[in-house]
Structure 1
Amino acid sequence: MTTEPTPIYELTDPRPIAESAPYTFFLPNAVEITAVAKGDLVKLTFEYPHETEKWAAERMWVIVEDVRGDELIGVLDNHPSEPTTTLKAGAEVRFARHNIISIEWASPEKAPSGLIVTDESF
């Protein structure tokens, strides 16, 4: 009988945290998240499912390399601080748009303003 290897990380869904702490935990808006493209840096929260020495979770940057609708593929742009993880800078990371907690635009001048104007805004 073969057993599946233990995943080295799980990505956090930050939406429930943002809902429970709307004044202290901010996420990019839907316009910004939809605009994420190749070359942009996005911050994700990596949770370690194994026993750790320092951190059960780390927020780290990923460079977006490919976009396939809601699925994005990137490479880790940080060196994890948790000594027990085998995750390394340069590792491929597959994630969904809803995992994004922050964005650094490759071309800030082309970044969306994020402002959505409706009749109710006036």
Structure 2
Amino acid sequence: MEAVLAEIDRDGWELDDAEAIHAEHPTSFWLPPREARNTLQAQQLVKLIFRILTTDEHGSEEVSVERMWVIVKGRVGDLYIGQLDNDPYCTDAIKAGMEVCFLPNHVIDIYEQS
């Protein structure tokens, strides 16, 4: 797979810009520090917000939003390459193991192992 960000019109899903959400809701939408999001390492787990195109029971398209964990695999330029670590509830079209490209501004959480 080429290292490009997903687009909902092309791929059926895309990632939310967590920094934009944080800017709109700074007191209620926490983000990890920018430095931590800029220096992710392979095997770290990060949470991203996926916007997924689905079809409702009447056949109308709608966008479902799910927060899911991704395992960082590496980096190509500015883009992180990761692997989805769980299945979404809203569709069977996306599965754990799928490659996901993302930027630091997409990261809403970093799993800290204790």
Instruction: Give the structure with the higher percent strand.
Output: 2
RMSD, aligned α-carbons: 2.2
Q: Is the contact made by 1:8 and 1:87 (CA closer than 8 Å) also made in structure 2?
A: no
TM-score of the two chains, using structure 2 as the length reference = 0.78
Aligned ranges 1:1-122 → 2 under 5 Å: 6-52=10-56, 56-82=64-90, 84-105=91-112
Larger Rg: 1
1:45 partner amino acid: I
CA distance in 2, matches of 1:15, 1:52: 29
TM-score of the two chains, using structure 1 as the length reference = 0.73
Q: Sequence identity of aligned pairs in percent?
A: 37
Structure 2 residue runs of 5 or longer lacking an equivalent are 1-8
CA distance in 2, matches of 1:37, 1:68: 13
1:29 partner amino acid: P
CA distance in 2, matches of 1:105, 1:67: 20
The count of corresponding residues between Structure 1 and Structure 2 is 102
- Deviation, 1:73, is 0.5
> Which of structure 1's runs of 4+ aligned residues deviate more than 2 A?
49-55
* Aligned twin of 1:118: none
* Aligned twin of 1:116: none
Write out per-residue CA displacement over residues 66-116 of structure 1, whole angstroms, 9 at most, x where no aligned residue. Answer: 12242011110011111x34000111111111111100146x6xxxxxxxx
Structure 1 residue runs of 5 or longer lacking an equivalent are 109-122
